[in-house]
Chain A
Amino acid sequence: EAGVTQSPTHLIKTRGQQATLRCSPISGHTSVYWYQQALGLGLQFLLWYDEGEERNRGNFPPRFSGRQFPNYSSELNVNALELEDSALYLCASSLEVFLGNQPQHFGDGTRLSIL
């Protein structure tokens, strides 16, 4: 079974640009989560998508947005990039949350560097 896949592995941008990060969940998983892991900090919850809908959002500005496609894959978009957006962005997927408290399965992340 293929795990969660994220692309690209690394992304280098400059301040003010826009970045798009992609995630493919494990087959059969309908929920996708995005987290930001900045250097020296823990995981900060960004977004939760389930069945194509945004279900919950962390404490991040509106320039962080995303979507989930009919095949359950997901995109995270970050507009007007700032230096502090440099971080590892992790995507996770799980079975339908309402089946119970499901563990999340993580991809290896996209390292976003802002110059």
Chain B
Amino acid sequence: GNSVTQMEGPVTLSEEAFLTINCTYTATGYPSLFWYVQYPGEGLQLLLKATKADDKGSNKGFEATYRKETTSFHLEKGSVQVSDSAVYFCALSDREAGKSTFGDGTTLTVKP
């Protein structure tokens, strides 16, 4: 079945540091890939998405590129802020199963 493996956390960075959170996936067919963010006490929010190979999703300074050859969808941001502290989830959607498969989440803490 489908699976998503993402970088274990927690990740602690200083403000303005460069962020990479690795995500790789296993899937049949052509899934869409997503990054969601969960702030404390809230549900998940869609951060960005990519629907086909070589697509780049971007939002709020975050970027991720759908790499079919390496089955990866790594999340990057050039300069993190304290307000980016949250849990980040990589996910793929499986139209046949009608559900998304999520990674275990990576907790990011950004210190001033």
Q: Is the CB of B102 within 8 A of A43?
A: yes
Q: Are A101 and B95 in contact (CB under 8 A)?
A: yes
Question: B52 to chain A: closest CB distance in Å?
Answer: 10
Q: How far is the CA of A41 from the CA of B46 in the complex (A)?
A: 19
Q: Report whether over half of chain B's contact residues are helix, strand or loop; otherwise say mixed.
A: strand
How big is chain A's contact interface, by range? 20 to 34
Where the two chains meet, the residues of A that have a C-beta atom closer than 8 Å to any C-beta of B are: 4, 31, 33, 35, 41-43, 45, 48, 50, 55-56, 58, 90, 92, 97-98, 100-109
With an 8 Å Cβ cutoff, the count of chain B residues facing the other chain is: 24
Q: Kindly state the separation between the CA atoms of A98 and B103 in the bound complex, as whole angstroms.
A: 23
11 pairs, CB–CB < 8 Å, chain A vs chain B = A33-B99, A42-B102, A43-B102, A45-B101, A55-B98, A56-B97, A98-B95, A103-B93, A105-B46, A106-B43, A106-B44
